[in-house]
């Protein structure tokens, strides 16, 4: 989570540059002590030796950048020296705006591939499809390009044009698109709709500058459509701006309620933030969906609403990032420093920083306290120091992220799990959906694969050399077909329509709908969730322990929007 700073910071980078230019004189040692001068001189000497004698030729300026990066990155996993390009990329994520074409891209099978065009952007309007393989950009082959190279070539000033040559499934000849770049807005709320009678659903994907406005707009629209309860989905939401975390949380709390507290070495970092907005959606039940990709600003939102009993948290344990970074543009350069400057605490006093991330500068947790999840497994209980109380007296826990009020893990069987992960890792659903669209011009939003289409998909699996036993397929047949349905519907109608069409592909979302259909008030929803949680614990006592590491799917690459 990033706190924006208006001022500038002069770091060691500036002093190193001055030294290299012969500007730092002997009086530096008089002002700051001989030790500082000696260390700067030592760094300069090391750079000289490496620059002149290393086996491969290295750029001297790049060596200084590496030295600075090494200094900052040794502090903790989140502090970072940002080069011009990295700083520019960060600003895109925090502002939600850039100049380009409006497509998500990825390198798949060594080919630059369109994952999805963003609706309403130049690429979408030009007719670029998911699955299109970009083989040339302005006549230059994309063979061997990295994602970073592709980003640099596809971005450009608004009004400028670029020619894409693409290979499309089902066509014998490449297509060419001349596309004029525009300002692209990346929505924080990519879609929101009524998912059941009276139940609204908002997908909240990032805390950019317009995050609070977009959430508020979505809530207002859903209320006009008859919303009586809300599912707020922050699964895989990595966070963003601190002020947006505060403003979004503020929408759902009463004036004067604490949102979070920050504490740091510098006095200005010691602050308590309160709800103050006159807008208050405090009357309807809310379920917040979380998972291991829910981090930082998302955890502030989930933690505050959990502590004030304003929302039920459902899903899997969140990431566990309880630190705040401040952003300092560096004077005289286009670089910036992202520096950890504070810890944050939820209203009940929890710090949810995960135990395993430590720092030489920050003592993030008490060394003597085991992390919450380890304590539960090894001792059968949570240490008293990690137990906190909500406004209603419910127990919540610090350390290791936000623990959901109701844990909903994936429902994959032991027999079929590896097949499901294999299909996901090989992008089989996506590739089949691309092929399907090439052969079918239209598709209804409520499409379900027929028996013939299922047989066609299974034949495609054999063509892709996906090896599986019939027992594996039958064990996860419903999940596989729901995942296929999701991907095919998304090809034609976008991700929002796909979520609505294939609800069973997300067990957490299905569980949230079930609770809100049964409970009319938030208190009733809490009671239903507690009953289900108690039943899960009772069932777990009769089963052997599960290897949680084996439960996690292999990592997947992320597409980048350009």
Q: What are phi and psi of 467, to 5 degrees?
A: -95, 130
User: For residue 421, what are the CA distances in angstroms to 3, 88, 432, 483?
Assistant: 37, 35, 16, 12
pLDDT at 27: 47
pLDDT at 377: 41
CB 43 within 8 A of CB 67: yes
> For residue 109, what are the contacts with CB-CB under 8 A and spacing of at least 6?
none
Residue in 28, 2, 27, 26 with CA at minimum distance from that of residue 12: 28
d(CA 199, CA 285): 10
The H-or-E segment that residue 245 falls in is helix 242-250
Beta-bridge mates of residue 80: 338
Q: Which residues are catalytic?
A: 296, 307, 321
Q: Are strands 140-141 and 323-329 parallel, antiparallel or unpaired?
A: unpaired
Sketch the domain layout of the chain as residue ranges.
Answer: 2-78, 97-185, 191-407, 417-505
DSSP state of 240: B
pLDDT at 368: 36
Residue in 348, 367, 341, 344 with CA at minimum distance from that of residue 295: 344
Beta-bridge mates of residue 98: 184
CB 236 within 8 A of CB 200: no
pLDDT at 380: 52
pLDDT at 541: 76
Residue in 394, 403, 393, 397 with CA at minimum distance from that of residue 383: 397
Q: How many CA atoms lie within 13 A of 408 on its CB side?
A: 24
Q: What are phi and psi of 216, to 5 degrees?
A: -60, -45
Fold of 97-185: Pdz3 Domain (2.30.42)
pLDDT at 366: 37
d(CA 378, CA 359): 25
Q: Cβ atoms within 10 A of the Cβ of 286, count?
A: 22
> Which phi-psi region, left, alpha or beta, contains residue 465 (left: φ > 0; alpha: ψ -120 to 50)?
left
User: For residue 248, what are the CA distances in angstroms to 2, 110, 263, 318?
Assistant: 15, 40, 21, 18
Residue in 72, 79, 12 with CA at minimum distance from that of residue 39: 12
pLDDT at 537: 83
DSSP state of 137: E
Taking the model in full, what pTM does it have? 0.84
CB 249 within 8 A of CB 311: no
Domain 191-407 has CATH 3.40.50.2300: no
d(CA 64, CA 61): 5
pLDDT at 22: 37
pLDDT at 179: 97
The H-or-E segment that residue 289 falls in is strand 286-290
Handedness of CA 376, 381, 386, 387 (dihedral sign): positive
> For residue 557, what are the contacts with CB-CB under 8 A and spacing of at least 6?
106, 107
Retrieve residue 284's tokens.
């309807």
Listed as own residue / partner, the contacts of 467-474 with beta carbons closer than 8 Å and 24 or more positions apart are 468/419, 468/422, 471/415, 472/415, 472/416, 472/418, 472/419, 473/416, 473/419, 474/416
Coil, strand, or helix at residue 66? helix
What is the DSSP track for 153-214? HH---TT-EEEEEEE-TT-SS-EEEEEE-EEEE--SS-EEEEEETTEEEEE---B-TTHHHH
d(CA 73, CA 69): 6
d(CA 196, CA 388): 34
For each successive 10 residues of the chain (562 residues), what is the average pLDDT?
58 42 41 72 92 92 91 92 90 90 93 92 94 96 94 94 96 95 94 97 96 97 97 96 96 96 94 89 93 96 98 96 94 92 96 66 39 46 87 92 93 85 91 95 95 97 93 94 95 93 89 97 96 86 56 47 54
Retrieve residue 297's tokens.
């600003």
- Where b means 16+ CB within 10 Å and e means fewer, 247-264 reads bbbbbbbeeebbbbbbeb
Q: How many CA atoms lie within 13 A of 29 on its CB side?
A: 9
> For residue 254, what are the contacts with CB-CB under 8 A and spacing of at least 6?
275, 280, 282
End-to-end CA distance of the chain: 23
Burial class (CB in 10 A: 0-12, 13-18, 19+), 413: middle
Q: What are phi and psi of 59, to 5 degrees?
A: -70, 130
User: For residue 15, what are the CA distances in angstroms to 25, 65, 331, 337?
Assistant: 11, 13, 12, 15
What is the DSSP track for 327-368? EEEBTTSS-EEEEEEEEEE-TTS-----TT---SS---S-TT
């Amino acid at each position: 989570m990033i706190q924006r700073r208006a001022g500038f910071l002069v770091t060691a980078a500036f002093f190193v540059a001055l030294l290299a230019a012969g500007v730092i004189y002997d009086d530096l040692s008089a002002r700051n002590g001989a030790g500082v001068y000696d260390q700067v001189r030592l760094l300069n000497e090391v750079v000289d030796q490496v620059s002149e004698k290393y086996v491969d030729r290295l750029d001297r300026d790049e060596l200084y950048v590496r030295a600075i990066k090494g200094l900052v990155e040794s502090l903790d996993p989140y502090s970072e020296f940002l080069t011009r390009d990295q700083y520019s990329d960060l600003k895109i994520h925090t502002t939600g705006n850039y100049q380009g074409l409006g497509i998500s891209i990825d390198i798949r099978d060594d080919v630059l591939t369109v994952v999805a065009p963003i609706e309403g952007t130049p690429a979408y309007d030009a007719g670029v499809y998911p699955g299109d393989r970009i083989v040339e950009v302005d006549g230059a082959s994309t063979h061997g390009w990295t994602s970073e190279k592709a980003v640099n070539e596809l971005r450009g000033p608004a009004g400028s044009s670029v020619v894409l040559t693409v290979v499309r499934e089902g066509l014998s000849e490449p297509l060419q698109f001349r596309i004029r770049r525009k300002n692209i807005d990346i929505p924080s709320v990519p879609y929101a709709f009524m998912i059941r009678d009276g139940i609204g659903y908002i997908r909240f994907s990032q805390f950019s500058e317009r995050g609070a406005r977009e959430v508020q707009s979505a809530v207002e629209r859903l209320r006009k459509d008859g919303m009586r309860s809300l599912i707020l989905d922050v699964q895989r939401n990595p966070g963003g701006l601190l002020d947006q975390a505060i403003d979004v949380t503020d929408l759902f709390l009463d004036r004067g309620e604490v949102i979070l507290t920050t504490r740091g070495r510098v006095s200005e970092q010691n602050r308590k933030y309160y709800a103050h907005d006159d807008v208050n959606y405090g009357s309807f039940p809310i379920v917040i969906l979380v998972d291991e990709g829910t981090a930082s600003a998302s955890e502030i939102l989930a933690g505050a609403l959990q502590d004030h009993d304003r929302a039920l948290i459902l899903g899997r344990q969140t990431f566990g990032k309880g630190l705040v970074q401040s952003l300092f543009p560096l004077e005289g350069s286009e670089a910036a420093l992202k520096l950890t400057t504070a810890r944050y605490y939820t209203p009940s006093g929890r710090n949810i920083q995960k135990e395993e991330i430590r720092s030489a500068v920050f003592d993030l947790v008490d060394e003597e306290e085991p992390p919450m999840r380890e304590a539960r497994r090894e001792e059968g209980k949570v240490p008293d120091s990690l137990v906190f109380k909500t406004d209603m007296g419910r127990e919540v826990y610090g350390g290791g992220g936000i623990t959901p009020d109701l844990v909903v893990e994936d429902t994959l069987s032991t027999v079929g799990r590896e097949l499901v992960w294999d299909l996901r890792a090989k992008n089989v659903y996506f590739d089949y959906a691309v092929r399907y669209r090439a052969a079918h011009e239209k598709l209804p939003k409520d499409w379900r694969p027929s028996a013939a289409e299922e047989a066609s998909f299974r034949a495609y699996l054999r063509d892709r050399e996906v090896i599986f036993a019939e027992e594996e397929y039958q064990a996860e047949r419903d999940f596989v077909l729901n995942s296929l349905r999701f991907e095919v519907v998304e090809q034609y109608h976008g991700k929002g329509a796909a979520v609505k069409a294939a609800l069973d592909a997300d067990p957490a979302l299905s569980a949230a709908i079930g609770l809100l259909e049964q409970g009319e008030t938030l208190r009733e929803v809490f009671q239903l969730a507690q009953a289900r949680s108690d039943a899960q614990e009772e069932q777990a006592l009769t089963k052997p322990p599960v290897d949680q590491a084996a439960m996690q799917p292999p990592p997947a690459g992320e597409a980048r929007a350009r």
